[in-house]
Amino acid sequence: MTLRHVVAWKLAATDAAARAAQAAEIADRLTALVGVVPTIGSLSAGANVVDGNWDVALVADFADAAALKAYAVHPEHQKVVAYVRNVIADRVAVDFEL
């Protein structure tokens, strides 16, 4: 079984340039985790390119729920989480089996 983890964030900044910079920063920090967090099977993240939607999203695959949990608590992931929590207004996530 593969578990797909999908997360999207709305950023708190009201300025479009600030939102764009923060979205890019989140995506860069998340993609930098590949090769660092060993339980990541695949990961892609990016800023929204269409107005009116969520600002940035992540799609990551893990071998199973235990691998996702290991990612969630990994110290390098927690550093990204700390940054993200400082700039977001809302978060939505879903995990499903492929």
Cα separation, 50 vs 48, whole angstroms: 6
Look at residue 5 in the predicted model and tell me its pLDDT: 98
Q: Which domain holds residue 92?
A: 3-97
Residues 87-90: contacts with CB within 8 Å, 24+ apart?
Answer: 87/11, 87/12, 87/13, 87/22, 87/26, 88/9, 88/10, 88/11, 88/12, 89/10, 89/11, 89/12, 90/9, 90/10
The answer to whether residues 56 and 27 touch, using CB atoms and an 8 Å cutoff, is yes
**What is the total count of domains within the chain?**
1
Look at residue 72 in the predicted model and tell me its pLDDT: 98
Q: Could you tell me the CATH number of the domain that includes residue 67?
A: 3.30.70.100
Residue 10's Cα: distance from chain center in Å?
12
Look at residue 52 in the predicted model and tell me its pLDDT: 75
In tens digits, the chain (98 residues) has pLDDT values of 899 999 999 999 999 999 999 999 999 999 999 999 999 999 999 999 987 789 999 999 999 999 999 999 999 999 999 999 999 999 999 999 99
Q: What angle do CA 54, 71, 47 make, to 5 degrees?
A: 20
* Euclidean distance between the first and the last CA atom of the chain, given in angstroms as a whole number: 7
pTM: 0.94
Look at residue 51 in the predicted model and tell me its pLDDT: 79
